[in-house]
Chain A
Amino acid sequence: EVQLIESGGDLVKPGGSLRLSCIASGFSFSNVWMNWVRQSPGKGLEWVGRIKTRHDGATTDYAAAVKGRFTMSRDDSKNMMYLQMDSLKVEDTALYYCATDFSTAYFGSWGQGALVTVSS
């Protein structure tokens, strides 16, 4: 059974930093592209970014709203994915889900989310 568990959510001040983690189990993590998707009451569901497999260069793509501030990485030896969030803004407040890629364009399995609150 696929399982994704996010951690690291917290309350942080505007301009601060936070790192989220996602641990995966139940599938061959190293062979799967991974994503972060966030959800907030004001903006609904919003794709944050994705990281490809090492075989595909472990390259990353980001949504315009977070490009240059957020960085995704993965450690296949630990079945872990990370989201480093810098220069956080109030509008980054959301529940952050990690999700597996499905057929390049979609999200097949999701975690339960990590809550990030950016507030002074």
Chain B
Amino acid sequence: EIVLTQSPGTLSLSPGERATLSCRASQSVSGRYLAWYQQKPGQAPRLLIYGASTRLTGIPDRFSGSGSGTDFTLTISRLEPEDFAVYYCQQYDASPPSIAFGPGTKVDIK
């Protein structure tokens, strides 16, 4: 079973700054089955990026994903006020089907 760790736990930044979030897997993520979600208080998570680097339709291009194997990164190029939230990575393994989430990184306002 793949375990995901995310760092840092909390990232304190100002609007306009760049945010770099890390997700590390305990073993290689096959097929780059890695996604990123954003969750705001009182809301369900929202899918932002899948396949490690593909933005969902409608997601602003300030969000980008990269990485492969065991190391993945979500970058928010210039933080907007609405981007302050918790971000989770998620991986999928097809055989047998298993899905794991990371513990999350909170991006808050400095």
Q: Which residues of A contact B (CB under 8 A)?
A: 44-47, 50, 61, 63-64, 97, 99, 102-108, 110-113
Q: What residues of A have a CB within 8 angstroms of the CB of B43 in the complex?
A: 112
| Residues on B with beta carbons closer than 8 Å to the beta carbon of A103 | 50-51
A106 contacts B35, C-beta separation under 8 Å? yes
Nearest A residue to B92, CB-CB: A105
1/0 contact trace for B46-58 toward A, CB 8 Å? 1100110000100
What's the dominant secondary structure at chain A's contact region?
A: strand
In contact, B44 and A111 (Cβ under 8 angstroms): yes
Q: A105-B50, A106-B35, A106-B92 are contacts. A63–B98 as well, Cβ < 8 Å? A: yes
Which single member of B33, B44, B100, B103 contacts A47 (CB below 8 Å)?
A: B100
Q: Are B96 and A46 in contact (CB under 8 A)?
A: no
Please name all residues of chain A whose beta carbon is closer than 8 Å to the beta carbon of B50 when the two chains form the complex.
Answer: 102-103, 105-106
Measured CB to CB, the nearest residue on chain A to B90 is: A106
For this complex, 19 residue pairs linking A to B, each with C-beta atoms less than 8 Å apart, are A44-B88, A44-B102, A45-B104, A47-B99, A47-B101, A102-B47, A103-B50, A104-B92, A105-B33, A105-B35, A105-B50, A105-B99, A106-B47, A106-B90, A107-B37, A107-B45, A108-B56, A110-B44, A110-B46
Number of A-B contacts (CB under 8 A): 54
Which B residues form the contact surface with A (CB < 8 A)? Answer: 1, 33, 35, 37, 43-47, 50-51, 56, 88, 90, 92, 94, 96-104
Give complex CA distance A47, B99 in Å: 6
Taking each of B35, B45, B92, B99, which has the highest tally of chain A beta carbons within 10 Å of its own beta carbon? Answer: B99
Q: How far is the CA of A97 from the CA of B96 in the complex (A)?
A: 22
Quick one: given A105-B92, A106-B90, A112-B44, are A44 and B98 in contact (CB under 8 Å)?
no
Output the nearest chain B residue to A113 by Cβ-Cβ distance: B44
Q: Which residue of B lies closest to A112 (CB)?
A: B44
B residues in contact with A111, CB < 8 Å: 44
Task: Point out which of B44, B102, B103 has the most chain A C-beta atoms below 10 A from its C-beta.
Answer: B44
- Are A45's CB and B88's CB within 8 A? yes
Complex Cα spacing A113 to B47, Å: 16
- A43 CB to closest chain B CB (Å) equals 9
Residues from chain A with Cβ under 8 Å of B98 in the complex:
47, 63-64
